[in-house]
Amino acid sequence: MELCHLDNGFKIDNKCLTQLMKEKNLHLLQELEGIDGVVSALQTDTERGIDDDGDNIARRLEAFGSNTYKKPPSKSLFHFMWQASKDLTIVILLGCAALSLGFGIKQHGLKEGWYDGGSIFVAVFLIVVVSALSDYRQSKQFRKLSKASEDIPIDVVRGGRRRQISNLGIVVGDVVFLKIGDQVPADGLFLRGHSLSVDESSMTGESEHVEVNGGLNPFLFSGTKVVDGYGELLVASVGMNSTWGEMMSLISRDTSDQQTPLQARLSKLTPLMAKIGLGVAFLVFVVLVARYFTGNTKNNSEFGKFEGNKTKIDDMVNAAVDMVAVAVIIVVIAIPEGFPLAVTLTLAYSMKKMMADQALVRRLSACETMGCATVICTDKTGTLTLNEMKVTKFWLGQESVEDDAGYSSISDCLLDLIREGVTFNTTGSVYRPSSGSGFEFSGSPTEKAILSWATLELHMDMEKLKKQCVIQHVEVFNSHKKRSGVLMRRKADNTTHVHWKGAAEMILEICSSYYDASGVTKDLNDDERLKFEKIIQGMAASSLRCIAFAHKQVQNKHINDEKYEKLEESNLILVGLVGLKDPCRPGVREAVEACQLAGVQVKMITGDNVFTAKAIASECGILRPDQEAKEAVVEGIEFRNFTPEQRMQKVDGIHVMARSSPFDKLLMVQCLKQKGNVVAVTGDGTNDAPALKEADIGLSMGIQGTEVAKESSDIVILDDNFATLVTVLKWGRGVYANIQKFVQFQLTINVATLVVNFVAAASAGEVPLTAVQLLWVNLIMDTMAALALATDKPTKELMEKPPVGQTDPVITNIMWRNLLPQALFQIVVLLVLQFKGRSIFGVSETVNNTLIFNVFVFCQVFNELNSRDMERINIFKGSQGNRLFWGILVVTIAVQVVMVELLNKFANTERLSWGQWGACIGIAAISWPISWVFKFIPVPAKPIFSYLKSDSKRGLEQLAEAKSP
């Protein structure tokens, strides 16, 4: 005790506890009088935990700290502005703006010479700020989601009451319950438990599992995972004082920079558009330079007129700078830098909405991948059902016990055996508050149901029984054996007994006799065994989970061997059977039908027997009456024993897999993926981790899911509800739909701008839109349109289409049908105004240029509305709920009015009359009927370019045939 001193009333300090844990210092632990000494020094109780009052918790937080970690500081808005300003096109534009500003001031003086260069500076600044704000909001959203994923519920005992709290709320002195699949929330000491093994690979890198016990290794560390057994932990170090805390402080979980598959596919378009843009920009620049130096420009044009020796060098340089600026702006317009932003915005918006719909996205790309899902392999318990277990059937021997009279007729000896088996062979607990009369049950839903039944119906007193017996050994429930067992000794007569509990057919296999209702032991011959099998099948066919209890008294000598590991598993006596009802979730049948309508096959993979599985699958609509039971329903062992060829042949037709192991689940996922399916898998256990990782989209359960399962998954279903999977599917498809809307909108502007600028430059020696006007169009096109179109909610129609293939082109035939007429319309309108606008409207050249600019911007406003839905005629349907969309349209129109009417020198515009405004809006509105007409034209589903590929391939084949002799 020399190392330790009093600290805030505790007989041990933080430094001493940290040294004890980090060094695994057994010598120091002995000096502290062992674990009991630490318990006493921390003023806690191994049975009741710490007192659950605010002052006590605050005192512990002050003395030992909180269970939180320091994180790298969040990136500021200035950081994102700096990142945006380093973009090559922005740097070139700033260079052009600086040259234009310098020459402009030199030529026209400060009062008027700053307009051109200053306008470009302001426009570039706006683009940088808007882009930075978007990225900054994204970063905040990711940190918020990351924080939510780190908040893990943990079972502790406080004031004698077992309850769930956040792992972030754990304090030193807490007693924490650990089971298979849990992540250890803090450093601490092993108090009690059985067969506890942990995976310390996250801390040490060693893959070997480490056994934890009260002897040579009582140390447990945060971040490690329980892989077997269960136990209780005394928390000794939290937060930054823990071993994991030091590592966590260095880790940033901001995944906003990772590129999703859709972003990767869209990024392939960017170089192509950039090459086209550079080509057009170069040609425009060459034409402008040639026309300028040959004297084919006008005095009042943007570049002025070249008059040989009369033209000042400053004017020539200024004209050249302006031409370079126009060429650069054309490149900026052509490069679709809005694609990544639109994808990120759509995914972030979807993630936020999915969080509200009880789905926490851990991996960004999972949103879009879910939209491509063709198969969902789902659990039964808790996902398709409510996971609210209740014992509704009880069989003693071959007699059903259904009322109080039936329970009262059971012999006391048999009742004691059942109570004993329930009390000791469980990971749950019963708590009865001293103030109230009700009981509180904790543990898994199955454990809680059995504990509730035994306490309320059989009048079991758990605390009293625990004092009368001593547990010798425990075999924890696992997914392979599907049963758990306990070896215990009665203090009264010093006899030793084995109790087993588990899946009824598994327990029946290891029994050779059974108790009847009066407590008499009878042989379990083949005829009797067949009767019990029919009882089990009858309960299973009624959607009941059937659990059996078995017992045997064993010789004392078996427990004296310290290396004893296996419990007696033969010639047991069947004690009784209970049937637990877990009703289907409301709306699950409709959710399954919605998936099937969307072209997504739903398969149920469960550990329950085949009769329960078929009953639930039929109730949920997964299994239809017309489907062949032999082909549609298999057991795990049967599927496992198929040859690889048989599995590949039959896997699509299987709808239900019963009595499956985690390996069977993994095998099915692998087979489905080999057949070209995009597979989503749900899982909640540690053993589900391989299947969750193997699947294209792993979905873990937020309530029943272990931390290992959650770590292996892409999305956490917070309410364990199948209907939430359908919501995730819908949002996934919404991501694709929103991106396609934006791509269609942006490509329309790209095509129109490039063609108009090239034609105008080649024929008239000037471009219709100035650098500032083009930058404003670019801002509308990239950032504002991305915000408007990326935040539409998914429509019902999306769930009536087949899944989008991961290799399908992003630009579909439907999109080509929509964008080409719109681009052609804009090209025709702008070129007519460019060459005939002055005579049509009877206006000056500057007013005509303003009309061109105004019409072009309003064409984008109307086309943004057209792009809201690529197939639906009524483009306004469902738009009322998207306030952001309408807000962005209003802001776009308002800024356009300000630029035309007020910022004349900044934007190079002239004020327009009411009639001219009406003409601009009227011309732009023609895009609506064009869109309406063209949506009636049917298009083939097969991509256009695939026909070209198939034709060229066919031509090569024919050529090869002609050359062959």
Q: Tell me the backbone φ, ψ of residue 122, rounded to 5 degrees.
A: -65, -45
Beta pairing partners, 429: 442
Cα–Cα distance between 750 and 811 in angstroms, integer? 14
Residue type, 680: A
Which residue's structure tokens are 């070249």? Answer: 306
Q: What is the DSSP letter of 458?
A: S
| Nearest CA-CA partner of 64 in 189, 174, 214 | 174
Which residue's structure tokens are 């272990």? Answer: 706
Cα–Cα distance between 653 and 374 in angstroms, integer? 14
Helix, strand, or coil (residue 651): helix
Cα–Cα distance between 463 and 448 in angstroms, integer? 16
Cα–Cα distances (Å) from 144 to 99, 137, 147, 149, 253, in that order, read 43, 11, 5, 9, 11
Cβ atoms of 413 and 717 closer than 8 Å: no
Taken in order 628, 633, 638, 642, is the CA torsion positive or negative? positive
Angle formed by the axes of helices 313-334 and 722-764, to 10°? 150
- Kindly give the pairing relationship between strand 375-378 and strand 679-683: parallel
Cα–Cα distance between 547 and 540 in angstroms, integer? 11
Cα–Cα distance between 829 and 756 in angstroms, integer? 10
Residue 102 CB partners (closer than 8 Å, separation 6+) = 117
Cα–Cα distances (Å) from 640 to 222, 651, 671, 675, in that order, read 37, 11, 12, 17
Catalytic entry in 116, 174, 357, 379 = 379
Cα–Cα distance between 68 and 222 in angstroms, integer? 12
The first and second tokens of residue 372, run together, are: 């491509």
Taken in order 238, 239, 241, 245, is the CA torsion positive or negative? positive
- Kindly give the pairing relationship between strand 601-605 and strand 656-658: parallel
**Is 379 known to be catalytic?**
yes
Cα–Cα distance between 575 and 629 in angstroms, integer? 33
Helix, strand, or coil (residue 32): coil
**H-assigned helices in 782-926:** 785-789, 813-841, 845-866, 883-901, 904-907, 914-925
Q: What is the DSSP string of 785-810?
A: HHHHHTTPPPPGGGGGSPPPPTTS-S
217 CB-side CA count, 13 A: 10
Q: What is the DSSP letter of 781?
A: I
Cα–Cα distances (Å) from 449 to 380, 580, 702, 801, 930, in that order, read 17, 8, 20, 42, 64
Other CB atoms within a 10 A radius of the CB of residue 701 amount to 26
570 burial type by CB count under 10 A (0-12 exposed, 13-18 middle, 19+ buried): exposed
Which residue's structure tokens are 């008499």? Answer: 520
- Round to the nearest angstrom and report the end-to-end CA distance of the chain: 98
The first and second tokens of residue 299, run together, are: 């005095």
Cα–Cα distance between 709 and 493 in angstroms, integer? 44
Cβ atoms of 782 and 746 closer than 8 Å: yes
Catalytic residues: 379
